[in-house]
A and B are shown apart, each in its own frame.
Chain A
Amino acid sequence: MSRRRVEPLVWLMFSAGGVLASVFLPILVLLFGLAFPLGWIDPPGYDHLRAVVGHPLTFVVLLGLFVLMLVHSAHRFRYTLYDGLQIKKKRTVAVLCYGAAIVGSVAAVAVLWGAA
């Protein structure tokens, strides 16, 4: 695929991932990052969480969420490196950023598949 065809797709995924991150992440970080480990709220029981994670709908939603948020993050970080640190090796930066997002997406499929 040529660069001209890929670029709009990446921007679209960046936007979708940005919307998902803005509505899903605050509550997820608050619950799973702080409230459950610190015991502010009783962590969900193992059987319940296992049932939620094992549901096919959860698989689809979480996979979409993870992949789009990874592309969002990679795309934004790429431009942070261009503008913020003024890195000149643009091609290398792009390959590393999107490469990391692809590796993360493959890992997400493997982990979600293994838990389903």
Chain B
Amino acid sequence: MTPSAGTPTDVRLYRPRISTWWWTRKRTYFLFVMRELSSIFVAWFVVYLLLVVYAVGQSEAAYERFLDWAASPWVIALNVVALVFVLLHTVTWFALTPQAMAVRVMGQKVPSFHIIAGQYTGLVVVSGFVLWLVTR
């Protein structure tokens, strides 16, 4: 901001203090913050997968111990919450992609619907592959 002629140079801006809970007042704000908080659960599951890999790298007994630990109520509860947040991330990420990226084929803009459908196809293919790889 540049002060106009005649005003003192030490202009102080009025910045009202916004409540920490601003995002609880509207559904769209709430969903926005929930979407952003999915980052915590993405990080949690990277740690969890590292524990899986670590146990498998140790011994069969360590792997069995890991599965027992993973079946304890609090870990299951945490992973149920993690699944909800991860799904929220997936759905919102897919929905936002056409807005973040304009895909053109032969000069024509690809409709959002096709981009979103393409991503769900990718999700199904990857899920099928992971399921096949670990359970075959």
Residues in A lying within 8 Å of B, measured CB to CB: 15, 17-19, 21-34, 36-38, 41-44, 46, 48-50, 52-53, 62, 66, 69-70, 72-77, 79-80, 83-86, 100, 104, 107-108, 111-112, 114-116
Establish whether residues B89 and A104, one from each chain, have CB atoms under 8 Å apart when the complex forms: no
Establish whether residues B23 and A33, one from each chain, have CB atoms under 8 Å apart when the complex forms: no
CA distance in complex: A34, B86 (Å):
14
11 additional A-B pairs beyond A25-B45, A77-B43, beta carbons within 8 Å, are A23-B127, A25-B89, A27-B126, A36-B67, A41-B135, A74-B43, A76-B36, A79-B36, A100-B43, A107-B50, A115-B54
Closest to A21 in B: B42
Residues in B lying within 8 Å of A, measured CB to CB: 18, 20, 23, 33, 36-40, 42-43, 45-50, 52-54, 56-57, 60, 63, 67, 70-71, 75-76, 79-80, 82-83, 86-87, 89-90, 93-94, 100, 119, 122-123, 126-127, 130-131, 133-136
